[in-house]
Amino acid sequence: MHERSTRTVLGTLTSAALAFAAGALVMYLMDPNTGRRRRAIVRDRSVSMRHDAERYVRGKSKRAADRLRGVAARTRASLASEPIDDDLLHERIRARLGRLVGHPHDVEVHVRDGRVQLKGHVAEEEFHDLLHTVSSMRGVQNLESLLRTTSQSSLSQSSAPH
């Protein structure tokens, strides 16, 4: 019995606190002196939050659509049977080198009939990622590595301008 009366009292207090808060809010917004300005601020902030939410959703849906387009393009490209031109493959490998190695100008790329030959110097840490990435690129039939690996510090010293 005591537990039930406690719940009733807490429920009544909660209802009274909510009614008091609602009354204070109405007084705050309907104040004859500054209520109009306060209502305008609330309205402007609500509109701003709605615009932010719309912008967020629009951005997320655009990124999702772009990802789907990319997946579809990669799928189409992987199903395509025509060979890739050697010059195009060379340019794709050169572009990828810039993201794979610290000194892409130290690597020579030669392509002939889909057979790729890499020459030059790369850091030991970059060697395996470079070979894996280039060998898995579309159009690469064979990969021959004539690369020499060096430590990262000696590679940066040797490529410094003299």
- Alpha-carbon distance 11 to 6, whole Å? 8
In the predicted structure, residue 77 carries a pLDDT above the cut 90: no
The band of 110, judged by pLDDT with boundaries at 50, 70 and 90, is: very high
Claim to verify: residue 61 and residue 102 sit in the same structural domain? no
- Alpha-carbon distance 92 to 86, whole Å? 10
Write the CATH number for 106: 3.30.1340.30
Residues for the chain: how many in total? Answer: 162
Q: What is the mean pLDDT of residues 76-97?
A: 86
Helix (H, G, I), strand (E, B) or coil at 106: helix
Beta strands in 24-114 (DSSP E): 107-112
What's the pTM value of the predicted model, to 2 decimals? Answer: 0.51
Q: Is residue 149 part of a domain?
A: yes
Claim to verify: residue 104 and residue 140 sit in the same structural domain? yes
Owning domain of residue 38: 2-72
Pair 99, 124: CB distance under 8 Å:
no
How confident is the prediction for the chain on average, in pLDDT? Answer: 87
Domain count, the chain: 2
In the predicted structure, residue 51 carries a pLDDT above the cut 50: yes
Pair 84, 137: CB distance under 8 Å:
no
Query: Looking at residue 157, what is its pLDDT?
Result: 57
The band of 153, judged by pLDDT with boundaries at 50, 70 and 90, is: low
Q: Is residue 114 part of a domain?
A: yes
